[in-house]
Amino acid sequence: MKRRLWVDANVIIRFLVGSPPELAEQARALMGRAERGEVVLVVTDVVLAEVFWVLRSFYGHPVRQVAGVLRDFLLAPGIRSASGRRLLTALELAAAHGVDIADALLAVEASQAGEPVCSLDQGFKKLPVVLEGPG
């Protein structure tokens, strides 16, 4: 069995943005090891949500672009989602409906459980989930 490393958001961000150069080079080297099959990099929902948020808020990239880049990242050789297909489904929803990844993840989890989401955020009306207000 290949060695598994649970990768943190800062490594993914440095790989994707390419800066600062010395940290980006370390991240690229790790991604190269994953691509060559030397290690498997495991990405959790929380880490992906943090990367999504940083790319949107700090770097100012549009939702659809971030969702597409992260989808491609998760499908790359040597990368595995800790939650299976759930992350990819959430990224697809975020891109299709222009919603934040945290909302998309919540919608996917609630939908898979066959239960509604309780939120004041009307953006959930765009998503394939039953929405209930708290009142």
pTM recorded for the entire structure: 0.92
Residue spans of the domains in the chain: they are: 3-101
Q: For 20-72, give the secondary structure using H, E and C.
A: CHHHHHHHHHHHHHHHCCCEEEEECHHHHHHHHHHHHHCCCCCHHHHHHHHHH
Give whole-number Cα distances, 35 to 28, 62, 82, in Å. 10, 27, 18
* Omega within 30 of 0 (cis) for the link into 20: yes
Inter-residue contact 119 to 131 (CB < 8 Å): yes
Q: Per residue of the chain (135 residues), what is the pLDDT tens digit?
A: 789 999 999 999 999 999 999 999 999 999 999 999 999 999 999 999 999 999 999 999 999 999 999 999 999 999 999 999 999 999 999 999 999 999 999 999 999 999 999 999 988 999 999 999 998
